[in-house]
């Protein structure tokens, strides 16, 4: 029996805090029945549904056909570790079939990561005006985190054909504010998850955007978590040619094959399971438990 792949900590955090925008936009969301059962959650400017990979097909009119294979491999690796953070947008073409409107690169990477199902937004052919209204109304909600706002802005720009200037007018923000939010989506998935889980502030995230390359962004992000750095300190580190030796982290990054092993452990024993391994192949596996019953569950699974 194939193992079910997790959607990721980032998306899980979004789903747990979900509130259906359909209520504010007076849109009755469609109930999607998948092979796994009924799954529909309202959240980032519209209901997020979960579909089986087998129910989704590529758009034959997709103008972009050249997808960088190395970039796809990197994205697939990230999805294995963190899940698919930004849902794919699809339209229904038959009873159990959906076609991609936007997000084909993410879909291909999810296939490479061997996910069984992915989060999606489901569009109908003539609902652009209603979608725009729902998106704009949802953005006004006070309980959205920065990444939820960023995803909503991007959807308005891509799916409703709005320029940055037009979008700024719609949501009552200046162009710079809109641009800063959308740029958050260029951050590595690990940092995006940190934004969702409120491990870093919008100020930290905006500072990290200006760090190059990605490895430097991740290094500074991990230092923020480790040393509780202020936004001003992060801005100073971003301007440095390299992060000072004093602030270098000793954290060992697991090779891809061991990241996959750790992901499998978390799927089976819980998200706090950890695989540690040194460069010399020495390490340990940690399976934390919260209660005696939890311990017994782990022991039973290990068949001790």
Identify the band that residue 34 occupies on the pLDDT scale cut at 50, 70 and 90.
very low
pLDDT greater than 50 at residue 222 = yes
Return all residues near 92 (Cβ < 8 A) that are at least 6 apart. Answer: 30, 98, 122, 124
Return all residues near 265 (Cβ < 8 A) that are at least 6 apart. Answer: 273, 274, 275, 285, 287
197 close to 147: Cβ distance less than 8 angstroms: no
Count of the separate structural domains present in the chain: 3
Share above pLDDT 70 across residues of the chain, in percent, rounded to a whole number: 71
Q: Which of 247, 264, 286 is the last residue of a domain?
A: 247
For residues 34 and 119, the model is more confident at: 119
Q: What DSSP assignment string belongs to 161-225?
A: T--HHHHHHHHT--HHHHHHHHHGGGS-HHHHHHHHTTSS-HHHHHHHHT--SHHHHHHHHHHHH
pLDDT digits 0-9 by tens, 68-126: 788 888 888 888 888 888 888 888 888 888 888 778 888 989 999 889 899 998 876 55
Residues 36 and 117 reside in one and the same domain: yes
Q: Which of 68, 238, 44, 63 is nearest to 139 (CA)?
A: 44
Residues 264 and 284 reside in one and the same domain: yes
Residues 66 and 215 reside in one and the same domain: no
Q: Which of 186, 179, 243, 182 is nearest to 209 (CA)?
A: 186
How long a stretch of residues is the chain? Answer: 304
User: Is 227 contained in some domain?
Assistant: yes
Residues 179 and 51 reside in one and the same domain: yes
30, 35, 81, 104: which is the annotated catalytic residue? 104
* 3-state secondary structure at position 93: strand
Residues 23 and 159 reside in one and the same domain: yes
User: Is 232 contained in some domain?
Assistant: yes
Give the global pTM.
0.47
pLDDT at residue 221, rounded to an integer: 92
Residues 112 and 235 reside in one and the same domain: no
Average pLDDT taken over every residue of the chain: 75
For residues 14 and 286, the model is more confident at: 286
Name the residue range of residue 219's domain. 200-247
Residues 33 and 147 reside in one and the same domain: yes
**Is residue 117 annotated as part of the catalytic site, yes or no?**
no
pLDDT greater than 50 at residue 42 = no
User: Is 191 contained in some domain?
Assistant: no
How far, in Å, CA of 283 to CA of 280, rounded?
Answer: 9
| 245 exposure class (CB count in 10 Å sphere: 0-12, 13-18, 19+) | exposed
pLDDT digits 0-9 by tens, 122-131: 876 555 665 6
Residues 260 and 241 reside in one and the same domain: no
Residues 143 and 44 reside in one and the same domain: yes
Q: Which of 185, 164, 183 is nearest to 173 (CA)?
A: 164
User: Is 117 contained in some domain?
Assistant: yes
Residues 150 and 208 reside in one and the same domain: no
pLDDT at residue 250, rounded to an integer: 53
Residues 205 and 86 reside in one and the same domain: no
pLDDT digits 0-9 by tens, 163-184: 888 888 888 888 888 888 889 8
How far, in Å, CA of 215 to CA of 122, rounded?
Answer: 35
């Amino acid at each position: 029996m194939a193992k079910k792949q997790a959607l990721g900590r980032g998306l899980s955090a979004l789903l747990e805090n979900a509130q259906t925008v359909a209520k504010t936009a007076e849109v009755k969301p469609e109930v999607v029945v998948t092979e796994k059962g009924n799954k529909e959650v309202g959240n980032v400017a519209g209901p997020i549904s979960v579909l089986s990979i087998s129910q989704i097909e590529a758009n034959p009119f997709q103008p972009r056909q050249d997808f960088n294979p190395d970039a796809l491999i990197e994205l697939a690796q990230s999805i294995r570790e963190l899940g698919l953070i930004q849902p794919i947008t699809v339209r229904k073409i038959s009873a159990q079939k959906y076609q991609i409107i936007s997000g084909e690169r993410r879909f291909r990477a999810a296939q490479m990561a061997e996910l069984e199902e992915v989060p999606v937004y489901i569009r109908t052919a003539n609902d652009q005006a209603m979608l725009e209204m729902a998106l704009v109304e949802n953005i006004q909600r006070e309980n959205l985190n920065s990444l939820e706002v960023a995803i909503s802005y991007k959807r308005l720009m891509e799916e409703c054909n709005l320029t940055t200037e037009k979008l700024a007018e719609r949501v009552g923000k200046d162009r710079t504010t809109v641009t800063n939010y959308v740029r958050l989506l260029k951050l590595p998935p690990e940092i995006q998850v940190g934004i969702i889980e409120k491990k870093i502030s919008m100020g930290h995230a905006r500072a990290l955007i200006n760090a190059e390359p990605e490895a430097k962004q991740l290094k500074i992000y991990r230092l923020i978590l480790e040393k509780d750095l202020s936004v001003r300190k992060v801005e100073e580190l971003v301007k440095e040619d390299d992060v000072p030796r004093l602030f270098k982290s000793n954290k060992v990054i697991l090779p891809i094959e061991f990241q996959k092993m750790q992901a499998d452990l978390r799927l089976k024993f819980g998200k706090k399971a950890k695989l540690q391994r040194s460069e010399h192949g020495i390490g340990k596996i940690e399976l934390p438990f919260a209660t005696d019953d939890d311990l017994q569950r782990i022991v039973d699974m290990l068949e001790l």
